[in-house]
Amino acid sequence: MPESQGWLAGKAEGEVAVELNGVRFQVDLLTGHKTGLYLDQQVNYARVAELVARLPGTQVLDAFSFIGGFGLHAARAGAGHVHFVDQSEEALAGAKRHAELNGVAARCSFETANVFDWFKGRTQRGPHEQLIAPFDAIVLDPPSFTRSRAAVPDALRGYKEIHLRALKLLKPGGLLATFCCSHHVDAVTFQDVILAAAADAHRLLRRVATFQQSPDHPVLPAIPETEYLKGYAFEVVG
């Protein structure tokens, strides 16, 4: 079928106001990526925010932030500061506008960067330098690293890399909320990669939450591809 983009019914000009869990967004349904907003994370935005709310004043990193879903919810939940990192200038501009729209801009900062390079630059140290972990909570919500089974080994190396770097930047007692949206990587394999990264980082993790896609993205057991989004929250206990 030929590609098409437009309205099935009704009409709207410009951006549309959307509210998720009390957090306001302005999205472009026609030109924005995935209609401008990832609705499959709606429940997880709220659940991660509840975990952040237990640590008032926390320093949060929202990596692969897109337009700010997790970071904005964290800021509304009482985070002391949220740093958004994404390689898309357009997405970060949207995150900044949304921070202002929700009255949390004073506690937010934004940086355009490749997240892999950003992590690498902040975890490198000299032979006699000690790395001081700056964050109390880190959210990792990257795009899919693989679109085929053949690319799964490379994807797993990518997942291990970002988790290893992230764990080095988390304070003891810190929170790591992490997600995988590739149906080629199942939940058990994803957790195994995280635990391998934790072992290399000499960190002991306690799992405090398990995540999946929101109910309006139903899972059909007969079609494994429908169960694509999985995630975990871990506390660094040692």
Active site amino acids: 181
- Tally of residues, the chain: 238
204: left (phi over 0), alpha (psi -120 to 50) or beta: beta
Q: How far is CA 199 from CA 13, 17, 54, 236, in A?
A: 51, 44, 26, 12
In which element (H, E) is residue 159 found? Answer: helix 152-168
| CA pair distance 169, 166, nearest whole angstrom | 5
Which residue from 215, 153, 221 is spatially nearest to 189, judged by alpha carbons?
Answer: 153
